[in-house]
Chain A
């Protein structure tokens, strides 16, 4: 912990600074593999760029203001 009163990210995130490069790569790789679990849920969504949803998606439109993805 930094000792600051306000932190924007989690303790786990902030601890990334203390990892060696190899540890960071391992953590990153593990995170990417775990994140695959949501692939079926987010196939139609975009997290970057100017497009927000695949036109083949038949469900309700994603909200315009997004909190996470």
Chain B
């Protein structure tokens, strides 16, 4: 159930799914805190793409996350701009990596939060999201370059949602139904009924893809029961892979975690940019830029 770059996939935008008034996107008049932040992050150039839970809202599938998650461009300018926006909001760092190219290149994540409009707003950032290859990520940036509200598309969101969290697979189930390409649907669907129908309609494609996703053999035979069992096993394997991935980061951040409580006390009264400088300086000795053996 991998997500390779898909040249057959048409560019997809969240903004394209929304009605426009007088040629002006309705996103431009929203007052949602995460949309407002996204607009500020992207003032003067595309730097941040809405991902994960808030992208699922923009796709009108579910409102189920109170945190914001963005893929940020892996440049010093982009990360400093994002930090500047958050500094003006009075944000502070949570435990995590510094929002700095050196750690972001290792697929670490940075986490900040602030209070605004009566809400605790958490903002989470990566530049190299899991399960998206470099070519596919580059294509995402290219595709989102000229849209009103940059947002991860359903196919890539499916890859990002293959976490160790069971509820994400329910979201994947509906995300797969947003895909328009039968090839992508056959690789992503989590519904036995949908897969059997797809395999019946796209037999040659399903046969070819069954090498990549063996459970499609059950779909080709119309065996919904075996398919359901195989889908459960696939989900468990994907969850276990993500748990193992996070385990590698946990192991690599033991020293950083031990130092964090004292460091956070030191940073408590500092403005965000001073927190960042202190945190990056301290992390140099305690948090590797890249995991041994490469990013997971």
Interface residues in chain A, defined as those with a beta carbon under 8 Å from any beta carbon in chain B: 4-6, 8-10, 13-14, 16-17, 19, 21, 24-25, 27-29, 31-33, 35-36, 39, 46-52, 54-56, 64-69
Contacts and interface: CB of A to CB of B under 8 A. Distances in A.
Interface of B: 18-19, 26, 30-33, 51-53, 57, 60-67, 69, 94-96, 107-111, 118-120, 124-126, 163-167, 170-174, 190-194, 239-240, 243, 245-247, 249-250, 253, 257-258, 260-261, 264
B166 A21 contact: no
The dominant DSSP class at the B interface is mixed
A50 B246 contact: yes
Contacts of B53: 47-48
A1 to B, nearest CB: 13
Given A6-B192, A6-B193, A21-B18, A50 B164 contact: no
Contacts, number: 136
B261 A56 contact: yes
Contact of A28 (B57, B192, B243, B261): B57
26 contacts: A4-B191, A8-B170, A9-B62, A9-B174, A10-B62, A13-B174, A19-B60, A25-B31, A29-B31, A31-B63, A46-B124, A47-B52, A47-B69, A48-B69, A49-B126, A50-B245, A51-B109, A52-B246, A54-B94, A54-B260, A56-B264, A64-B164, A65-B164, A66-B166, A67-B166, A67-B167
A50 B51 CA distance: 15
B95 A54 contact: yes
A67 B96 CA distance: 23
Contacts of B164: 64-66
Given A8-B173, A50-B249, A55-B258, A16 B61 contact: yes
Given A9-B170, A51-B111, A36 B63 contact: no
Contacts of B51: 48
